[in-house]
Structure formats: structure tokens, C-alpha cells
């Protein structure tokens, strides 16, 4: 798919939220959006890192319009506070990039008793989207972009074991969370279409990139991967961000599409339509996941979007 980020038309006056914009792929997505004139709200948990990232973006793009708001996607109270803060400062939201991700190497439970990766990667973004989607103009240029992963191909939704306490594979919880992101994007698109909205829900994955997800990996394994494996399967965060940017900005994008690199094992290369599992297309499972997500976040997700 032919997509040149440098040829994208200016988006002056548009507002974008990028979760996890202080590092990795999210940082490069924020750079790309700022470059074309968007006001970029950097939604970050660590404010010190966010301020450093903002300064770095401004060094690269001196005209960038950036704002920082604190957001911890594993904490429902933080998500609700972020939404209130955003609504007090902005009257519309054009792009919501649900980028932030967490990879744990052992089972971690958040304050709500939910496995932390499922809570952060999926439920946190589900709640954030529910709280802000009514601010999106009724246009196909308004996008909710969810980030999945190649890891979704190893997953299913463990409806009877969402905390993955009975699973034996170390990455079962992470893979489930990224599958949930993909299925949420699809179900959101179906419901948007049913509501008559022109807003698009799309999904993307970055391929293979040393984006910060692997910081908690045992150091010996981390450096072995980085030195001996990385050159063959990883690409830069800037290159990885292209799949997300095409999902957010591409003129020919259709709701429900899924983008990713087209090179070796889909780990790197130019962006295009990504492959996905048959399980991820299960509409009944996606609808069930939606209902469970409403219950777990205690948030009814209404789509009252009949705007002119």
C-alpha cells in the first residue's frame, strides 16, 4: 500500500490523543501527527518522562502543538480523571490512538483484581474510548485506532479465566490482551456503523520493534535478542509507527481494517493490510467480550453519535 507520511495534508485545528506517547512507537506517532499540524495530547503515566519526550519532539518539530495529561490505563479512577480533564480543555477529539501497552513476565493483578495486561492494554482503552467518543466529529477522518500485535495469533479469549491464572504459557495474558484490542476495534466498527456514525474504528500492529515493552525481560535474554535476533526481525520505532499513521490518516482506509508491516514474517517493512486469525473474526466472541468489558469497567458504552 502506497503511503508517504510526508505527503499527508495538514490537519491544523485537529486534536489527537496518543496514549503512551512518551516512548517507543507512541512517541513516533506523536511526532508524525504533530508534524502535520495536529494538536497532540500526550497521555502518559510518567509525567517526568512525558516532559522529556515533549522537549525532544519540540527539538525535532519546533512548531509542534503538544499537551501533556496524566493517564494510568490500569487505574479506572485515573482514566476518568483524564477524560474530565480533557473535556475541560477541548471541545472535540479527532483521533484517538490507543497505543500504550504493557508486557509482564509474571502474573500481576491491578487494584481492581484484574490481570494487569488485560486491564491496561484492553479494558483501559475500552473505558477511555467510551468516555470520549462522543467528542468525535461525525466524519470518516475521525478515527479510533487500536493497537494489536502479532501475538494475537497465539491467543484466544479465556472467558472463564480472564486473569489467566490457569494458563501455562508465560505470555498467554499478553497475547489475550492484544487479541482483545483487535476484537474490540472490530466490534466498535460494527456498532458505529449500526448507529449511523461515519467515525471509523481501525486497528494496526507495529511488527517487531524494541519499543520499551521488553524492558522487564531478563537482561541476558534481552541483549541476546537485541544483538543476534534484532537485526533480522526488528525495525525502528519510526518505521513501526507507519502502520499506525496509515490507519489514522490514510484517505482510503475503511472501518474494520487491520494494518501492519508487509515484510519478513510481518515483522518489518512497508505498511499494508495485516493477516489475522479466524478466531479474531468471531463476532459472537467479540460481542461477548464487549459486554464483559462494560461489566468489568462499570461503564455503559453508548454510541449516540447522530451529529450533523
Q: Which residues are catalytic?
A: 174
**What are the φ and ψ backbone dihedral angles of 44, each rounded to 5 degrees?**
-135, 150
The owner of cell 469497567 is 297
Which stretches within the chain are classed as H helix?
A: 24-35, 47-60, 76-89, 116-117, 125-132, 172-195, 219-224, 230-233, 237-249, 283-297
Distance CA 47, CA 176 (A): 29
Grid coordinates in use for 238?
Answer: 519510526
Give the DSSP letter of residue 178. Answer: H
**What are the φ and ψ backbone dihedral angles of 160, each rounded to 5 degrees?**
-95, 5
- Give residue 137's Cα distance to chain centre: 20
Distance CA 150, CA 135 (A): 31
Nearest to 187 by CA among 206, 202, 172: 202
| Number of Cβ atoms within 10 Å of the Cβ of 278 | 6
Distance CA 270, CA 190 (A): 28
**What are the φ and ψ backbone dihedral angles of 43, each rounded to 5 degrees?**
-95, 105
Amino acid at each position: 500500500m502506497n503511503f508517504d507520511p510526508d505527503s499527508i495534508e495538514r490537519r491544523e485545528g485537529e486534536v489527537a490523543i496518543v496514549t503512551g506517547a512518551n516512548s517507543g512507537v507512541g512517541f513516533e506517532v506523536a511526532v508524525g501527527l504533530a508534524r502535520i499540524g495536529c494538536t497532540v495530547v500526550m497521555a502518559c503515566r510518567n509525567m517526568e518522562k512525558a516532559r522529556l519526550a515533549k522537549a525532544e519532539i519540540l527539538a525535532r518539530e519546533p512548531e509542534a502543538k503538544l499537551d501533556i495529561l496524566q493517564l494510568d490505563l490500569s487505574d479506572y479512577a485515573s482514566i476518568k480523571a483524564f477524560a474530565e480533564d480533557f473535556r475541560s480543555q477541548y471541545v472535540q477529539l479527532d483521533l484517538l490512538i490507543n497505543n500504550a501497552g504493557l508486557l509482564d513476565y509474571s502474573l500481576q493483578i491491578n487494584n481492581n483484581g484484574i490481570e494487569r495486561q488485560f486491564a491496561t492494554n484492553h479494558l483501559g482503552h475500552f473505558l477511555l474510548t467510551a468516555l470520549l467518543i462522543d467528542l468525535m466529529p461525525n466524519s470518516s477522518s475521525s478515527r479510533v485506532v487500536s493497537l494489536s500485535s502479532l501475538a494475537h495469533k497465539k491467543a484466544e479469549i479465556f472467558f472463564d479465566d480472564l486473569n489467566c491464572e490457569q494458563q501455562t504459557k508465560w505470555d498467554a495474558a499478553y497475547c489475550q490482551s492484544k487479541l482483545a484490542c483487535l476484537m474490540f476495534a472490530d466490534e466498535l466498527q460494527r456498532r458505529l456503523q449500526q448507529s449511523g456514525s461515519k467515525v471509523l474504528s481501525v486497528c494496526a500492529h507495529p511488527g517487531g520493534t524494541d519499543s520499551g515493552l521488553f524492558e522487564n525481560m531478563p537482561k541476558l535474554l534481552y541483549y541476546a535478542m537485541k544483538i543476534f535476533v534484532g537485526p533480522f526481525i526488528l525495525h525502528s520505532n519510526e518505521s513501526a509507527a507507519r502502520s499506525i499513521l496509515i490507519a489514522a490518516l490514510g484517505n482510503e482506509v475503511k472501518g474494520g481494517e487491520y494494518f501492519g508491516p508487509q515484510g519478513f514474517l510481518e515483522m518489518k517493512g512497508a505498511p499494508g493490510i495485516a493477516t489475522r486469525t479466524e478466531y479474531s473474526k468471531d463476532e459472537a466472541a467479540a460481542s461477548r467480550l464487549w459486554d464483559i468489558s462494560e461489566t468489568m469497567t462499570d461503564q455503559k458504552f453508548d454510541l449516540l453519535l447522530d451529529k450533523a
